[in-house]
Structure 1
Amino acid sequence: MSSTFGQLTYPEISAQAEALAAAFKQLEAQKEWVTRFIGNPAFDEVIFIGSGSSYYQAQTMAATYKKWVGRPASAHPSSEIYLFRDAAAVPGRNYLLVGVSRSGESTEVILALESVKGVAGWTTCGITCHEDSKMAQMTECLVSPLGKEKSTVMTKSLSSMTFMMQAAAALASGKPELWAEAARVVEADADVVKAADSFAKSFVQEHDLHKFIYLGMGAYYGLSQEACLKIKEMSYVWTESFGTLEFRHGPKSIVEPGTLVCLLLSETARSYELKVAEEMKAYGATVLVVTAYKGDDTAFADAVFEVGGRELSDEARSVLYLPALQYIGFYTALKKGVDPDHPRNLTQVVKI
Structure 2
Amino acid sequence: MCGIVGYIGEQQAAPILLAGLSKLEYRGYDSAGICVRDESTGNVEVVKAKGRLRTLIEKTDDGHSVIGTSGIGHTRWATHGEPSENNAHPHCSDDKNVVLVHNGIIENFQELKEKLVKRGYTFYSETDTEVAVKLIDYYYKKTESPLTSIATAMLHIRGSYAFGVMFKDCPNKIFAARKDSPLIIGKSEHGTLIGSDVPAILDQTRNVYYIDNMEIAELTKDEIHFFNMDEDEIEKEVVQIKWDAEAAEKGGYEHFMLKEIHEQPRAVQDTIGAYVKDNAVDFSEIGLKDEELANIERVYIVGCGSAYHVAMAAKYVLEDMTQVPVEIDIASEFRYRNPILVKNSLVVIISQSGETADSLAALRLAKEKGVAVLGVVNVVGSSIARESDHTLYTYAGPEISVATTKAYSTQLIAMYLFAMRLAQVKGLLSEEDCAKMIAELNELPAKIQKILDDKERIQWFASKYANAKDMFFLGRGLDYAISLEGSLKMKEISYIHSEAYAAGELKHGTISLIEDNTLVVGVLTQSNLYEKTISNMVEVKSRGAYLMGLTTYGNYGIEDTADFSVYVPKTDPHFATSLAIIPLQLLGYYVSVAKGLDVDKPRNLAKSVTVE
Q: TM-score, normalization: structure 1?
A: 0.91
Q: Determine if the alignment matches structure 1 residue 281 to structure 2 residue 541.
A: yes
Match of 1:321, SS state, is helix
Q: CA deviation at 1:147?
A: 4.4
Report the counterpart of residue 298 of structure 1 in structure 2. 559
Q: Which runs of no fewer than 5 residues in structure 2 stay unpaired?
A: 1-251
* Number of residue pairs aligned between Structure 1 and Structure 2: 342
Verify the 8 A CA contact 2:534 2:561 in the aligned structure 1: no
Verify the 8 A CA contact 1:170 1:179 in the aligned structure 2: no
Match of 1:99, SS state, is strand
Q: Determine if the alignment matches structure 1 residue 68 to structure 2 residue 321.
A: yes
Q: CA deviation at 1:308?
A: 1.6
Verify the 8 A CA contact 1:281 1:287 in the aligned structure 2: yes
Report the counterpart of residue 36 of structure 1 in structure 2. 289
Letter in 2 for 1:9: M
Instruction: Give per-residue Cα distances to partners, 1:237-256, cap 9 Å, x unaligned.
Output: 11111001112221011111
Match of 1:20 among 268, 283, 296: 268
Identify if the C-alpha distance between structure 1 residues 159 and 302 changes in structure 2 by more than 3 Å, giving closer, same or farther: same
Verify the 8 A CA contact 1:185 1:317 in the aligned structure 2: no
Verify the 8 A CA contact 1:100 1:126 in the aligned structure 2: yes
1:1-352 superposed matches below 5 A: 7-28=255-276, 31-32=283-284, 33=286, 35-36=288-289, 40-86=293-339, 89=340, 92-120=342-370, 122-139=371-388, 140-174=390-424, 175=429, 176=434, 177-195=436-454, 197-207=455-465, 208-265=467-524, 266-293=526-553, 294-309=555-570, 312-352=571-611
Distance 2:516 2:253 in 1: 29
Distance 1:217 1:271 in 2: 11
Q: CA deviation at 1:183?
A: 2.3
Verify the 8 A CA contact 2:549 2:558 in the aligned structure 1: no
Distance 1:347 1:39 in 2: 37
Greater strand proportion:
2
- When structure 1 is superposed on structure 2, of 9-18 and 139-148 the one drifting more is 139-148
Q: TM-score, normalization: structure 2?
A: 0.54
Verify the 8 A CA contact 2:303 2:359 in the aligned structure 1: yes
Match of 1:290, SS state, is strand
Q: Which runs of no fewer than 5 residues in structure 1 stay unpaired?
A: none
Match of 2:367, SS state, is coil
Match of 1:269, SS state, is helix
Report the counterpart of residue 83 of structure 2 in structure 1. none
Q: CA deviation at 1:148?
A: 2.8
Q: CA deviation at 1:35?
A: 4.8
Structure with bigger RCO (C-alpha 8 Å, 6+ apart)? 1
Q: CA deviation at 1:38?
A: 11
Q: CA deviation at 1:150?
A: 0.7
Identify if the C-alpha distance between structure 1 residues 46 and 201 changes in structure 2 by more than 3 Å, giving closer, same or farther: same
Identify if the C-alpha distance between structure 1 residues 92 and 203 changes in structure 2 by more than 3 Å, giving closer, same or farther: closer
Distance 2:287 2:472 in 1: 36
Letter in 2 for 1:279: E
Alignment root-mean-square deviation, CA: 2.1
Greater helix proportion:
1
Identify if the C-alpha distance between structure 1 residues 39 and 162 changes in structure 2 by more than 3 Å, giving closer, same or farther: farther
Identify if the C-alpha distance between structure 1 residues 136 and 80 changes in structure 2 by more than 3 Å, giving closer, same or farther: same
- When structure 1 is superposed on structure 2, of 37-46 and 146-155 the one drifting more is 37-46
Identify if the C-alpha distance between structure 1 residues 330 and 213 changes in structure 2 by more than 3 Å, giving closer, same or farther: same
Match of 1:142, SS state, is strand
- When structure 1 is superposed on structure 2, of 162-171 and 270-279 the one drifting more is 162-171
Letter in 1 for 2:458: A
> Deviating runs (4+, > 4 A) in structure 1?
none
Identify if the C-alpha distance between structure 1 residues 6 and 97 changes in structure 2 by more than 3 Å, giving closer, same or farther: farther
Match of 1:317, SS state, is helix
- When structure 1 is superposed on structure 2, of 102-111 and 182-191 the one drifting more is 182-191
Distance 1:308 1:34 in 2: 35
Verify the 8 A CA contact 1:62 1:73 in the aligned structure 2: yes
Match of 2:293, SS state, is coil
Match of 1:141, SS state, is strand
Distance 2:496 2:254 in 1: 17
